[in-house]
Chains A and B, each alone.
Chain A
């Protein structure tokens, strides 16, 4: 029987350290479409351009988190010195994962009545997926 994956299989590592209390992660891989339509053609044609990826994490905010994402984003004095501005990000589900270097581009902290405080973090991949460690066929 086919194995399906669910949210309980997911996890995230940043700079080799697990990011605890992750509620959601998403990844969007993109490729530019470069137009090569010539003047003799009546339909647009394209060729593949540069690859890239962006994504987002939603992390529940709590005291003593192993990776302080807000500090990491600001690269302030409380940021983990071992995790640079461009950090290795690993989005996992079960034994499979996407691994790449990423820049944390934004973090939004929200505090809402009746909800657990959470941080929405956006990131942009720097470079390509690290294929030698890739366990995902995509």
Chain B
């Protein structure tokens, strides 16, 4: 898998969840729980981004990034000057997933909402996937 840089756009809204660990949970009738852990790497982290009231040219650059990433075996790379802008340095590795083996892929196609002539609001959903081993 090769990396594709996300366009130089700073989001107006951002939501991140770190994902879960692969495990099976068994609960007995008395309520006690046993977990069988299948790995020590989290997966399915998610990142939701909103780019409110951006130019149509910027919206098009996101759509082109979607095609470039999902049309081939590639993943998205964020930098601290675009998607991770505005967060403290301690949080940047989480947003970028540089502290894990996860790679950002589009979870769904970007949604483009037209606001007024030449202005759009774009929402993107990303999922962190473990690179195939």
> CB distance B53 to A39 under 8 Å?
no
Whether A34 contacts B115 in the complex (CB less than 8 A), given A39-B11, A39-B14, comes out as: yes
Interface string of A38-69 (1 = CB under 8 A from B): 11110000010110000000000000000000
Q: Is B86 an interface residue (CB 8 A)?
A: yes
- A49–B116 alpha-carbon span in the complex (Å): 7
Report A-chain residues with C-beta under 8 Å of the C-beta of B14.
39
Q: Is B12 an interface residue (CB 8 A)?
A: yes
B interface SS class: strand
Size category of the binding interface on chain B: 10 to 19
> CB distance B86 to A47 under 8 Å?
no
Select one of A34, A40, A41 contacting B119, CB under 8 A: A34
Interface string of B118-133 (1 = CB under 8 A from A): 0100000000000000
Question: Closest approach, in angstroms, between the C-beta of B91 and any C-beta of chain A?
Answer: 11
> CB distance A37 to B116 under 8 Å?
no
Interface string of A11-37 (1 = CB under 8 A from B): 000000000000000000000001111
Q: Is B34 an interface residue (CB 8 A)?
A: no
> CB distance A40 to B85 under 8 Å?
yes
> CB distance A47 to B87 under 8 Å?
no
Report B-chain residues with C-beta under 8 Å of the C-beta of A41.
86
> CB distance B13 to A47 under 8 Å?
no
25 A/B residue pairs, CB under 8 Å, sorted by A: A34-B53, A34-B115, A34-B119, A35-B12, A35-B53, A36-B53, A36-B54, A37-B12, A38-B11, A38-B85, A38-B86, A39-B10, A39-B11, A39-B13, A39-B14, A39-B85, A39-B87, A40-B10, A40-B85, A40-B86, A41-B86, A47-B53, A47-B119, A49-B115, A49-B119
